[in-house]
Amino acid sequence: ALYSHPADVPQTSYDFIVVGAGVGGGVVARRLSEDPGTRTLLIEAGPSNEGILPVEVPLLCTSLSPDTAYDWNYTTTPQRGLDDRVLGYPRGRLLGGSSSINYLAWTRGSRDDYDRLARVSGDAGWAWDALTPFMKSIENFAPGAVDGHNISGQVDRSLHGTSGPLTISMPMDLPTDRFVIGTTQQLKEFPFVEDMNSGNPIGIGYGQNTIKNGTRDSSATAYILPALASNLTLDVLVNSQVLRVLQTGSVDGVPIFRGVQFAASANGTVFTINATREVILSAGSVATPQLLLLSGIGNSTRLKQTGIRPIVNLPDVGQNMQDHPLLGNIFNVHTSNITTDDIRRNNTVASEELAQWQTSRTGLLTLPPSAQIGWFRVPDKSGIFAGGDPSAGPTSPHFEFIVADGFAATQQAFPSTGRFFTLVTVVVSPKSRGAVTLASSDPFANPVVDPNFFSAPVDIAIMREAVKAARRFVSAPVWKGYIESEFGPFGSAHTDAEIEDYVRNFTITVFHPAGTAAMAPFNATHGVVNPDLTVKGTVGLRVVDASIFPFIPAAHTQAPTYIIAERAASLIRNSTGTAPANANATAPCEGNTTAAVSGASSLADSSV
């Protein structure tokens, strides 16, 4: 059942306690609950996702953060690489986690991203081919687009699953589609990619999105709520923040962490509950390292300085933070078509669109923020990779284009007149590394979040090349008569120095923190989790969320997190003997030993 106060939880212990009902936690809790006889408790700090209109309406996603009731409302430290600006740093705080507030793009990443994960972790089970069954087990690929247009040639449906919990669909046609696709026919530099989820995303093509019948699909709507409706082994507790995990004993001197402390608020009663098998941390890339540190797992010296008794010395907890920097390059356009600008500006248009969405789940509000996405590499001959190429390999892009039919830049005021087109550029294989650290031992105090954008010079060089590529993209003849001019500061940035200045002044985050509890081989002294996602130096504790990636995938991070979570669930079910012989299980399972891969290397030497 779904409970909304800690005192209502009906049992004093569960087999599994999962902390955080986002992507990682939603998937794992659902899959574990498919085993009859296994009791799982999923604890979420935020409220239920149900009945919140902007959570349901795809295009309203941009109103869900920053600074709302469904956001943790973190901010970053002043970012030196961004001229000391402080950024809002949204993370979902409700059932479904960030998948309930995100921008819905479904991108798996490249073959090389996963093959590198297998290489650096020493576990061949993380390679692209080995993960393909898990990728498909997630997806219920919709047979048609939201507006019913013919999607043949826009996606390769044979690459996708059609009976998983999460619906993936193609968006409605837009007038700008013909310019984007026309460019791929006119400029060789920007090839068309039929399906960016094939393992080789290089090129530009139609976006795929977590939208079901014109409505957001998330780990809450696809995994958690259906599990609650259909089986008796899952309990979900919302409005309850986990404060720390607790040591409950030790085996051969190794501490066991099977206790969980939680409360409804900073002044509320503190409750404790134990797992008989495992505690699984899925609080996301900011809160998971925060919880590990609060629990005495981290850099012992720094923990003592913060007033926390160290239990496991794991210096990499919270380190190795990676994110994708994003920049909205805006163009003034000449069009009589309604764009998303009209919905933002004109209440009549907005009301009409909302009425259409409410009656038929159609219209512009079914759109994700982006219709097409492009993934590109900076040529080797550019000379920017003298210090090493940070990408995972030739199928991994260095930068991304996000095509937005309207004004898509939060760092500039939205003009009261005019229509716009935005070609967002994103560095997707960054070399910069930041950190999440504790500000205090108070679990209700936000941690210190420092993505450290552009601390590696190659990242700003990639963004500079991406901005130049954006200009070349709209120079294709097909755009003539549509693009009128470059808008605002973008239009004045021409020399390399001017572009760099513009980049530092206007770049923000694309909301993809990863890597703060990074996976490393079983015998490695670096890293935070083992290849089976157990926390090093502990018993009974795992991490399943975006923090486990040693390298951020060159992709929007929800699909990669769903993918690792599906395999994690399989590893957990096997390691505890609860799977796989039951009729309810719809996910693939594998043996309980992780497969070794030769030549496993450290984080430092595996980037090239």
Ligand X SMILES: Cc1cc2nc3c(=O)[nH]c(=O)nc-3n(C[C@H](O)[C@H](O)[C@H](O)COP(=O)(O)OP(=O)(O)OC[C@H]3O[C@@H](n4cnc5c(N)ncnc54)[C@H](O)[C@@H]3O)c2cc1C
Contact indicator for 548, 126 with CB cutoff of 8 Å: no
Whichever of 245 and 461 has its CB closer to ligand X, that residue is 245
List, in sequence order, every residue forming a beta bridge with 519; answer none if it has no partner. 529
List, in sequence order, every residue forming a beta bridge with 71; answer none if it has no partner. 92
Distance CA 131, CA 563 (A): 7
- Cβ at position 92, least distance to ligand X in Å: 5
Q: Please give the residue whose beta carbon sits closest to ligand X in the complex.
A: 22
Whichever of 216 and 377 has its CB closer to ligand X, that residue is 216
Contact indicator for 423, 331 with CB cutoff of 8 Å: yes
List, in sequence order, every residue forming a beta bridge with 274; answer none if it has no partner. 13, 259
Task: Quickly count: other Cβ atoms within 10 Å of residue 590's Cβ.
Answer: 18
* Residue 512 among the catalytic residues: yes
Distance CA 260, CA 248 (A): 10
Which residue's structure tokens are 């390691």? 575
List, in sequence order, every residue forming a beta bridge with 432; answer none if it has no partner. none
Residue 334 corresponds to which tokens in the numbers above?
Answer: 């000449």
Question: Residue 301 — left, alpha, or beta (φ > 0 → left; ψ -120 to 50 → alpha)?
Answer: alpha
Given 398, 494, 512, 526, which residue is catalytic?
512
* Residue 398 among the catalytic residues: no
- Cβ at position 37, least distance to ligand X in Å: 26
- Cβ at position 94, least distance to ligand X in Å: 6
Residues near ligand X (CB under 6 A) are 19-25, 43-46, 65, 90-93, 97-99, 101-105, 241-242, 282-285, 287, 291, 511-512, 545-546, 556-559, 561
Distance CA 559, CA 198 (A): 13
Whichever of 43 and 330 has its CB closer to ligand X, that residue is 43
Contact indicator for 119, 521 with CB cutoff of 8 Å: no
Cα atoms found within 13 Å of the Cα of residue 95, Cβ hemisphere only: 27
Distance CA 69, CA 110 (A): 34
- Cβ at position 244, least distance to ligand X in Å: 9
Whichever of 70 and 454 has its CB closer to ligand X, that residue is 70
SS3 271: strand
- Cβ at position 290, least distance to ligand X in Å: 7
Distance CA 290, CA 449 (A): 10
- Cβ at position 44, least distance to ligand X in Å: 5
Whichever of 23 and 603 has its CB closer to ligand X, that residue is 23
Q: Give the phi and the psi of residue 211 in degrees, each rounded to 5.
A: -130, 130
Task: Quickly count: other Cβ atoms within 10 Å of residue 124's Cβ.
Answer: 18
Given 160, 324, 398, 556, which residue is catalytic?
556
Whichever of 75 and 332 has its CB closer to ligand X, that residue is 75
The CA distances from residue 112 to 136, 237, 391, 453, 549, in Å, are: 18, 38, 9, 23, 14
Residue 258 corresponds to which tokens in the numbers above?
Answer: 């099977």
- Cβ at position 210, least distance to ligand X in Å: 8
- Cβ at position 540, least distance to ligand X in Å: 18
User: Per-residue DSSP letters for 327-380?
Assistant: EEEEEEE--SS--HHHHHH-HHHHHHHHHHHHHHS-SGGG--S-SEEEEE---G
Whichever of 201 and 385 has its CB closer to ligand X, that residue is 201
Whichever of 262 and 420 has its CB closer to ligand X, that residue is 262
Nearest to 452 by CA among 57, 78, 24: 78
Which residues are catalytically annotated? 512, 556
